[in-house]
Every structure is written in C-alpha cells, then in structure tokens.
Amino acid sequence: MTQTIKITGQQALATTLIDIVFPGDTNHHGTLFGGAGLALMDRVAFIAATRFGRVPFVTASCERIDFKQPARVGHIVEFSAIPVRAGRRSLTVEVEMCAETVIGHHRHACTRGIFHMVAIPDGENARDISLPELLPMETPLSMAGVRMVDIVFPDQANSVGRMFGGEAISFMTKAAFVEASRYSGKLVVLASSERVDFARPIEIGEIVEAEARIKRVGHSSMQVETKLWSENLLTGERSVAATGCFNMVAVGEDSRPISIAERALASAASSSENGHAHA
C-alpha cells in the first residue's frame, strides 16, 4: 500500500508578469498577436502553479479565453495569475490580461482564461506526492511600487548557465519604467543609472522578480530604487540577486523634459488617502 505524501495547505497567491508591447510583437493592425498574449498567459500560469506546488508542471489545457479588447504598440500589459482549484496532481489557474496606456494611465481588461496545469514530480517518491490543499486567499496588504516576475531562459544566459548582467539590468529598468510611468502618467526615459550591484548569480530556470519604487521626485525626474530577486522553482528559496537605482525623466512629444509636479501632488494625495483607509 502506498502512502500519499502531501504538503500542508497553501494559500493562493497572485503572481504578476508585466511586459511592454513592441512593434515586433504585433500584427499589421498594430495590436499584440493573440498567440503572443496566450504565451505570456501560459508563462505566468506556470510560475503561479510552480510557486503553489513546488513541483514541475506542464500545461494540460486552457479554456474560456475570450479577447475583449486589444493591446496596442506601446501599451504596458499586465498578466495576473492565481490558483483557484487544486486536485491531487492538477491545478486550475485563472489568468487575467490587462493593458494600460503609458500616457494618462488608462487601463482596460483584454482577456482572461483558465489554465489547467498538471504536476509531474520526479524522484523516488514521485508517485506518492500530491499537491497541497488550496486555502482561502487572504486580502493582501496594498504595497507601493511595482512587482513583476519572469523566468530565465537559456538565450538569456552565458556559457556557464547564468543570466547575463545586461539581461538582469534590462529587466530592472523595465520595472523602473513601469513604476515611473505609472507614477507620473507621462512617457518616461532612462536618464542615468547611479549604481547597480550584483550580489549573486541567477541560474537558468530560476524565477526572477523585480521590485521598483519611487525614492525621490524632482521637477521632471524620478529616482527609482529597484531590487532583483532570484527564486528557486522547486525549493522556493529566494535571494537578492541585484540592486540598482535609476533616474527616469518625463518627456513630452518633443522629447524634452516636462513637469510632473501636478501628478506628483495627486499621487501623494492618493497615497495619503490609502494610508488613512488602511489605518
């Protein structure tokens, strides 16, 4: 008689992947290819499933994916995934895709869908392992800043299987761009990088999560503090891989710096109201 090895209950946690729509990802209408959107939905579903079960997963099927509105060139696209049902080896993950404009921060839902993931554990006890019980999700505390995940693939790594420093910086600056553009409601560009420190290498197949938050605001500039985490897929062990500080500048149609004072005051007022609401 076999003994089922079951991990204790696990809460469903939302996982967020953020990207930007570039011309190479779009069709002749200037909108994101449906297949490209589906690929990112599947990727974030995989990350959410792996974080829940800490075993290898594959996608068994997806359903109820209806595209309501397109994502266009220049839009920020956000994919949020959360486990909604767990079986012995199967996990159902709900994924929502939203798009937002950089200027004005207008946001709309593009699609949502259900992804059915199947665990394929290995090792001598693989046949006896089952997924943890899915516990009710608690209301998360609101956190300032941007958090976005991805996975390191072989084409992002060097000959010894570690993520290129340039790829890590690119991911960090993308998070800084999203944070600064959301804060200002303007188009922003990278003006300078004060310092980037690498603490540990990131291996192929690890999850990377970038955190970015506004540290200081000037007339047209924003200093964005970023932190890059690496996370082992199967153990969940997390380490700070890199930290950096990037200076972003809001620009107008003529590519010259423009004031963000009004937006900064509005953001400060909004933050104050949210703080009182959670007090």
| Domain total in the chain | 2
Name residue, tokens 């005051």. 265
Same domain for 217 and 94: no
Residue 161: which of 152, 170, 169 has the closest Cα?
Answer: 152
In a domain, 186, yes or no: yes
Same domain for 169 and 102: no
Q: Are 90 and 60 in contact (CB under 8 A)?
A: yes
Same domain for 187 and 160: yes
Most confident by average pLDDT, 4-18, 153-167, 257-271 = 153-167
Q: Is pLDDT above 50 for 4?
A: no
More confident residue, 221 or 278: 221
Last residue of a domain, one of 83, 115, 135: 135
Q: Is pLDDT above 80 for 49?
A: yes
Q: Mean pLDDT of all residues in the chain?
A: 90
The per-residue pLDDT for 6 is: 45
Same domain for 152 and 102: no
Residue-number span of the structural domain to which 248 is assigned: 146-278
Mark 98-133 as b/e (b = at least 16 C-beta within 10 Å): bbbbbeeeeeeebbbbbbbbebebeeeeeeebbbbe
Same domain for 205 and 96: no
> Measured between alpha carbons, how far is residue 101 from residues 72, 75, 78, 120, 196 in Å?
9, 5, 11, 39, 29
The per-residue pLDDT for 257 is: 96
Same domain for 190 and 100: no
More confident residue, 142 or 99: 99
Same domain for 188 and 160: yes
Section 12-32 average pLDDT: 95
In a domain, 140, yes or no: no
Q: Are 156 and 164 in contact (CB under 8 A)?
A: yes
Most confident by average pLDDT, 2-6, 64-68, 140-144, 161-165 = 161-165
Instruction: List, for residues 177-220, the tens digit of each pLDDT value.
Output: 999 999 999 999 999 998 999 999 999 999 999 999 999 999 99
Residue type, 224: V
In a domain, 141, yes or no: no
In a domain, 198, yes or no: yes
Section 215-240 average pLDDT: 96
- The region of weakest confidence among 22-26, 194-198, 220-224, 273-277 is 273-277
Section 100-122 average pLDDT: 95
In a domain, 79, yes or no: yes
Same domain for 215 and 194: yes
Same domain for 216 and 165: yes
Using a pLDDT cut of 90, give the percent of the chain over it: 80
The per-residue pLDDT for 156 is: 98
Same domain for 69 and 163: no
In a domain, 182, yes or no: yes
Instruction: List, for residues 235-265, the tens digit of each pLDDT value.
Output: 999 999 999 999 999 999 999 999 997 666 5
More confident residue, 261 or 41: 41
Q: Which two tokens stand for residue 201?
A: 């290498």
CATH of residue 261: 3.10.129.10
Per residue, what are the HEC states of the chain?
CCCCEECCCEECCCEEEEEECCHHHECCCCEECHHHHHHHHHHHHHHHHHHHHCCCEEEEEEECCCCCCCCECCCEEEEEEEEEEECCCEEEEEEEEEEECCCCCCEEEEEEEEEEEEECCCCCCHHHEECCCEECCCCCCCCCCEEEEEECCHHHECCCCEECHHHHHHHHHHHHHHHHHHHHCCEEEEEEEEEEEECCCCECCCEEEEEEEEEEECCCEEEEEEEEEEECCCCCCEEEEEEEEEEEEEECCCCCECCCHHHHHHHHHHHHHHHHHHC
Last residue of a domain, one of 82, 104, 135: 135
The per-residue pLDDT for 1 is: 35
Q: Which two tokens stand for residue 252?
A: 């107008």
pLDDT level of residue 26 (50, 70, 90 thresholds):
very high
Section 58-82 average pLDDT: 97
In a domain, 82, yes or no: yes
Same domain for 92 and 14: yes
Instruction: List, for residues 127-159, the tens digit of each pLDDT value.
Output: 778 899 998 876 665 667 999 999 999 999 999
The per-residue pLDDT for 29 is: 95
Last residue of a domain, one of 135, 160, 181: 135
The per-residue pLDDT for 129 is: 81
The per-residue pLDDT for 267 is: 58
Length in residues, the chain:
279
Same domain for 55 and 9: yes
pLDDT level of residue 105 (50, 70, 90 thresholds):
confident
